[in-house]
């Protein structure tokens, strides 16, 4: 299954709109103008996800994970490499000495940012499909990418796809890049893409 150019364009535009609201929230939190780079969207079978996330590196990855259930169900993840997670938290909190490790405050900040971004994206899907998607409480995990993706692949049955949204946060002179990954079963994905296509026509 691949995205048609029309689907790709419509999805990118919808996510762009959702993220522009999020940028306003992040600006308010930091007191600085926050820009979110225009998102880039790709779709792949979950088994091929690792290749798409290569630039997260081999070290620990900070992942905010929310399970969503309802007529559209799956896993939503915000993924940042460790240094990126530190940098993003530092940009949002500001005024602290740089820390080598994420502390409890950093974890709170990243979880909340993940919660806002993932909800902005999935909530937009829920509104589009006129359904109610229920979310789990967001959890922050620190683990190597490989192990994390394996657990996603093994935990559930059936063919699943990953919608990958690449974005960058720009605050002051710094840029932190990361991925939103939305893992969906075939039925959920078909439903979503059909609606996106209907909208784009």
Partner 1 sequence: MRVLIVDDSAFARERIARLVTAAGHEAIQAAGGAQALQLAAEMPPDAVTVDLLMPDMDGVELIRRLRAAYPDLPLIVVSADIQEATRREVRAAGATAFVSKSGRLMPLLEILEGLPNVQKPSFVLTLLEQDAFTEMMNLAMGQAANALASLLERRVLLTAPKVEIMRLSALRVFLERNIPAIAAYIRQHFQGQLTGDAALLLPAGHADLLVRAAINSIELSMSGLTGIELSALAEIGNVVLNAAIARLGDQLGARLAIGQPTVRINLSAQMFVEDLSIGPVNADHAIILLNRLTIGDVSIMCYLIIALSEADIRRLLASLGVEA
> Which residue, chain included where needed, has tokens 């940028």?
23
Which has the closest alpha carbon to 82: 66, 58, 51? 58
Which residues 6+ apart lie within 8 Å of 164 measured at CB? 41, 42, 43, 44, 49, 52, 53, 179, 180, 181
User: Least separation, in Å, of the C-beta of 56 and partner 1?
Assistant: 24
- The Cα–Cα gap between 154 and 135 comes to 21
- Would strands 60-69 and 134-135 be described as parallel, antiparallel, or unpaired? antiparallel
Pick the closer one to partner 1 by CB: 63 or 119: 119
User: Least separation, in Å, of the C-beta of 29 and partner 1?
Assistant: 6
User: Least separation, in Å, of the C-beta of 1 and partner 1?
Assistant: 26
User: Least separation, in Å, of the C-beta of 194 and partner 1?
Assistant: 19
Per-residue CA distances from 74 to 105, 122, 157 (Å): 28, 10, 12
Pick the closer one to partner 1 by CB: 28 or 190: 28
Pick the closer one to partner 1 by CB: 26 or 149: 26
Pick the closer one to partner 1 by CB: 115 or 177: 115
Q: Which residue ranges make up the site for partner 1 (CB under 8 A)?
A: 18, 21-22, 24-25, 27-29, 105, 108-109, 111-112, 115-116, 118-120, 123-124, 126-127, 130-133, 135-138
């Amino acid at each position: 299954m691949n995205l048609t150019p029309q689907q790709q364009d419509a999805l990118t535009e919808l996510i762009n709109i959702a993220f522009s609201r999020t940028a306003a929230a992040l600006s308010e939190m930091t007191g600085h103008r926050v820009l979110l780079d225009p998102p880039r969207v790709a779709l792949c079978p979950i088994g091929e996800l690792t290749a798409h996330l290569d630039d997260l590196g081999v070290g620990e990855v900070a992942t905010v994970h929310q399970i969503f259930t309802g007529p559209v169900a799956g896993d939503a993840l915000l993924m940042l490499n460790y240094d990126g997670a530190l940098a993003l938290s530092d940009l949002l909190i500001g005024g602290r000495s740089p820390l080598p490790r994420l502390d409890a405050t950093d974890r709170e900040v990243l979880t909340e940012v993940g919660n806002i971004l993932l909800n902005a994206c999935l909530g937009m899907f829920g509104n589009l499909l006129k359904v109610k998607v229920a979310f789990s409480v967001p959890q922050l995990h620190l683990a190597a990418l490989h192990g994390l993706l394996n657990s996603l692949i093994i935990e559930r049955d059936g063919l699943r796809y990953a919608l990958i949204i690449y974005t960058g946060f720009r605050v002051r002179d710094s840029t932190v890049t990361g991925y939103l990954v939305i893992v969906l079963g075939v039925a959920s994905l078909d439903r979503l893409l059909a609606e996106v296509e209907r909208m784009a026509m």
